[in-house]
Amino acid sequence: MPEISQRGQQMPQSPIRKLAPLAEAAEARGVKIYRLNIGQPDLPSPRAALDAIRSIDRTVLEYSPSQGFLSLRQKLTGYYAKYNINLTADDIIITNGGSEAVLFAFLSCLNPGDEIIVPEPAYANYMAFAISAGAVIRTVTSTIEDGFALPPVEKFEELINPRTRAILICNPNNPTGYLYSRREMEQIRRMVKEHDLYLFSDEVYREFIYTGSPYISACHLKDIEQNVILIDSVSKRYSECGIRIGALITKNRQVQQTVLKFCQARLSPPLIGQIAAEASIDAPEEYSRDIYDEYVERRKCLVDGLNRIPGVYSPIPMGAFYTVARLPVDDAEDFCAWCLSEFQYEGCTVMMAPASGFYTTPGAGRNEVRVAYVLNIDDLRHALEVLRHALEAYNARKK
């Protein structure tokens, strides 16, 4: 039988989705699952987007331009201007979700063997995209004790070598919810400039910042405009994960031209998705405000609830809608699998993402989980009660 490629063998399983077969089996047994494992918002998409889809009167669902519709890119410039990010439509390329933007950025900027420095824990699919591009992820580890703040600059400098080509950040952060401060972003800027690196900045959660600290985009940083590639998506801010519309943004024309070649090879971004995304930009301020207020309440409910469970600790996330929590278990992945395969409380169980899958350092995050507060308050409260009983029952087995 022919062998699988080395790249295929190296490709990691998603810590977010790898337990899906156990969840499906649990549901088949009639167990209700509180899905805290995945960043799939349950809040409604903008009515304007749904109305735009319903009112499509095309007779042909045609290809769009490889870089996306001009009308969408023009409208996005107005959206970014609200965040003091000044762009032209030519600075924006529409992609099949933020995921394709990351992949095309890697393919366009990195050679096989080139290295990217990433603070960990980090969004697990970054590793998958790096493997796809033949690049190597090198990590600097942030800790739960420090609230997952940016590791010291010295830790980055220790890793920089002739193969280092980029730094990758997610701000606000997935999976930790951490928001990088102005000082931390300036530290990154200085490293990028001094070593002439690319700065890949995933900023899909900018709407969800819960502190008085300002949102500092990579596009706000001075003197590195040609180094910055910003990754974006409508999936989270408009609860539109399924329309697969993202964006790659850069003022570096050489990078743009290269990315466009990859875009042309995959033909075009989704037609229907672009129609919905463009309409969503016109959603009233009330829509965004209501979504934001809901996440504020969910964050308080979840974090307070986690920290009331004996042995559990979660720092307070300052952005996005995730937190990484430490559990009183030796192996969180085993615990998460056990919750789905052997445990239920009042006919319910919880599904979480083992945080070890968000680290590359062996053994890191072994007793941590990523929890997404994407359920309504009542469901979150009950999920926390189920988790408390699950931890009691799991640890009682070993006594």
CATH number for the domain that contains residue 87: 3.40.640.10
Domain of residue 374: give its range: 6-44+286-396
- For residue 303, pLDDT over 80 is answered with yes
Domain identity same for 59 and 107: yes
Domain identity same for 234 and 364: no
Q: What is the pLDDT of residue 12?
A: 82
Domain identity same for 101 and 21: no
Selection from 26, 45, 28 nearest residue 235 by Cα: 45
- For residue 34, pLDDT over 90 is answered with yes
- For residue 154, pLDDT over 70 is answered with yes
| Cβ-contact 364, 139 below 8 angstroms | no
For range 86-91, the mean pLDDT = 98
For range 290-298, the mean pLDDT = 97
Give 399's pLDDT tier (boundaries 50, 70, 90).
low
Type of residue found at 128 = A
For range 350-377, the mean pLDDT = 96
Domain identity same for 27 and 116: no
Q: Between 382 and 17, name the one with better pLDDT.
A: 382
Domain identity same for 377 and 272: no
d(CA 74, CA 31): 47
Angle among Cα 8, 13, 17 to the nearest 5 degrees reads 140
How is 139-166 classified by DSSP, letter by letter? Answer: EEE--GGGTTPPPPHHHHHHH--TTEEE
d(CA 2, CA 10): 17
Domain identity same for 58 and 203: yes
Of 230, 255, 280, at which residue does a domain stop? 280
Domain identity same for 97 and 217: yes
Digit-coded pLDDT (tens) for 366-381: 999 999 999 999 999 9
- For residue 390, pLDDT over 80 is answered with yes
Distances (CA, A) of 39 to 7, 61, 123, 313, 321: 27, 30, 11, 21, 8
**Is there a domain that residue 1 lies in?**
no
- For residue 15, pLDDT over 90 is answered with no
* Kind and range of the H or E run holding 391: helix 377-396
Give strand pairing partners of 202.
170, 231
Of 223, 253, 280, at which residue does a domain stop? 280
Residues 6 or more apart in contact with residue 142 via CB below 8 angstroms: 119, 120, 121, 148, 149, 150, 151, 176, 178
Domain identity same for 249 and 297: no
Selection from 127, 132, 142 nearest residue 107 by Cα: 132
**Is there a domain that residue 337 lies in?**
yes
d(CA 325, CA 306): 8
Domain identity same for 275 and 391: no
Domain identity same for 267 and 361: no
Q: What is the pLDDT of residue 309?
A: 98
- For residue 122, pLDDT over 90 is answered with yes
- For residue 313, pLDDT over 80 is answered with yes
**Is there a domain that residue 329 lies in?**
yes
Domain identity same for 99 and 12: no
Of 232, 249, 280, at which residue does a domain stop? 280
Task: Give me the number of domains the chain comprises.
Answer: 2
**Is there a domain that residue 319 lies in?**
yes
d(CA 134, CA 160): 18
For range 86-109, the mean pLDDT = 98
Domain identity same for 270 and 290: no
Digit-coded pLDDT (tens) for 339-350: 999 999 999 999
Arithmetic mean of pLDDT over the chain: 96
How is 238-269 classified by DSSP, letter by letter? Answer: TT-GGG-EEEEE-S-HHHHHHHHHHHHHT---
